[in-house]
Amino acid sequence: MISTTRTPRNPLLGLIPHMSGEWAAIVWTAAVGILNNLALIVLAVIGSYMVALAVMRQEVAAPVWWFVGIAAVVLRAVLTWHEMDTSHSIAYRILAALRMALFDGFARGVPSRKPGQHTGKLAATAMGDVEKLEFFYAHTVAQLAGSAILFIAGVAFLLPLGPEVAGALLLGFAALVAVTLPGLRRGARLGARVQQARSAVSVLAVDLLAGTREILGFGLQEHAQRQLAERSLVVDAGQRKLSSFLALAGSLRELCVLGTVVAVFLAAISKPGLDAVWLPALVAGTLTLLAPVAEGVATVTQLQPHRASAQRVLEGISLPSDRGVAPAVLEFDPNGPLGVEVKNLQFTYDDGQPALRPTSLSVAPGEHVGISGRSGAGKTTLARLLVRLWAPDSGSISLVSRDGREVDAWAVSEASFRRMVTLVEQDSPVFHGSVLDNMRLACPNVTASEVLEALERAGLPLTGDRWAEGVDTVIGEQGMSLSGGERARFCLARALLIKPRILVLDETSASLDPASEQALVKTLGAIAGETTIITVSHRESTLAACDRRVHLAD
């Protein structure tokens, strides 16, 4: 059974628990932002008052006003620096927190039996969507909270001047909301289309990069470029519509701000007893107060892209586990190779297509068993089930020690299981970087001498001019500098570094020439006995070297 996680209705709120360690810092950033904006308002009010006093009465303001103004300038400079420093620090921590949560989800839900899952979408989520949300939570949330608090404080400050003055400010805010609400749905639709178009470009780009050799081989460069250009034009057209809509909405908000300032001015000038020298200060303060409020209202109209990004990130974090309900974790770390006991194992894809019909299999510790069967019989599915990449719909897999102790494979901790059981597939990934970089993916603390020993055992000694730099030799993206036989032995050496108790090989020799295949078979023969080997293959020459052969029937 696959476990699922229900995503909340509002994905922006749904991500909050994954950043619980940063909310105290975000609150502090909001407080610093409020003080910073307050210092700006004080500076605008005092500056306008001092200028008005000089122009209207030819008087110099009292020293206290100069002192407060200078203090506001210094305070604003310090707070601006501190706010930027703190918010950037928080941004990087939020980025790390979201990506760690996202990669936890990927580790749990990838590979998936869902055919709609695509690495291009996952890559776009891990990079673009997370970076957009990092800015939102680190900067935008604090700005929105600060704008709301400042607006409430502004209304409370103007209220003693008369309900008309405070009412004019409230009326201006209502106008901002009134011109914003009708366009929320349209802005949401346009933002969603842009995000979908960008995601489609990411998916296509990943597919084109993965198929570079085929594109060049079939002479499809122009077709690929045309496809990418067409998808990019869709993004560009959607972005232009969204930008035009946002520009129009921005102009309407500016009109509302101007109208509010005029309304506050008229309401104040009609109040008897109010010194006229304070009117410019009142106008400047109102304008400075409304600027972040209008910006906050504008942000609300542009939340759809953030909601869409949050939805994708939350879906990645909440990828359904393919493990079902695991039994309690047990300590199991016996010496020597391990056997495998498979009972009535069954697996079905999400579309209902059976991938492995009820299957039972016994493999003794240290045995080398070959598994054959026609294409589609479930050989690869069985291999992935044996190494816990997928969980069976029914049946069980047990690990068996040499003294006969038997435990459920899912009851062994993840770290212990990965040290004991590993898989080498036909297309096992080889990453861009050096030999040592690739080997340390399997064993982070491995030394150069240990790598050379593993490669020697796998039949790939680093000798000759092409390996002049030894373990520091760069092998290129996807192991492009390796032949098919070298790639197979390279991936086998990487697996041997773990010193697995069970080694599962899935069609590792499928694309090898006879000489390379025999070299691989010889390597497996050298480690047989100390490691249990399960070889999945359709090649008779590979299966002939096994101690026993099992045919996987339909």
DSSP three-state, residue 468: coil
pLDDT value at position 71?
A: 92
CB atoms within 10 A of CB 538: 16
Q: What is the pLDDT of residue 475?
A: 83
Q: What is the model's pLDDT at position 3?
A: 42
> Which residues, at least 6 apart from 244, have a Cβ–Cβ distance to it below 8 Å?
none
CATH topology of domain 339-551: Rossmann fold (3.40.50)
Spatial separation of the C-alpha atoms in residues 62 and 285, rounded to whole Å: 20
Calculated CA dihedral for residues 482, 486, 492, 497, nearest 10 degrees? -70
Task: List, as one string, the DSSP characters of 274-326.
Answer: --GGGHHHHHHHHHHHHHHHHHHHHHHHTHHHHHHHHHHHHHHHTPPBSS-SP
And the tokens for 72?
């506001």
Instruction: Please tell me the class of the 11-317 domain.
Output: mainly alpha
pLDDT reported for residue 5 = 46
> What is the tens place of the pLDDT at every residue in 74-115?
998 998 888 888 888 888 888 888 888 877 777 666 655 555
Query: How far, in Å, are 28, 87, 178, 456, 525 from residue 389 at the CA level?
Result: 43, 39, 53, 29, 26
pLDDT above 90 coverage of the chain, percent:
10
C-alpha to C-alpha distance for 506 and 152, rounded to whole angstroms: 66
Amino acid, res. 450: E
For the chain, give every residue range classified as CATH 1.20.1560.10: 11-317
**How far is residue 44 from each of residues 40, 82, 278, 509, measured CA to CA in Å?**
6, 21, 12, 76
| Residue recorded with tokens 């178009």 | 197
Q: Residue ranges of the chain with pLDDT lower than 70?
A: 1-9, 107-124, 301-302, 304, 320-328, 350-351, 477-479, 554
Size (the chain), residues: 554
Which residue spans of the chain are classified as CATH 3.40.50.300?
A: 339-551
Q: What is the C-alpha to C-alpha distance for residues 413 and 407, in angstroms, rounded to an integer?
A: 12
Structure tokens at 19: 């950043």
Q: Contact at 8 Å (CB) between 56 and 48?
A: no
- pLDDT the model gives residue 320: 67
Q: Which of 513, 507, 494, 516 is nearest to 534 (CA)?
A: 507
Cβ-count burial 54-74 (b if 16+ within 10 Å, e if not)? eeeeeeebeeeeeebbeebee
Q: Which of 419, 448, 426 is CA-nearest to residue 379?
A: 426
SS3 content of the chain, % helix, strand, coil (to 5): 65, 10, 25
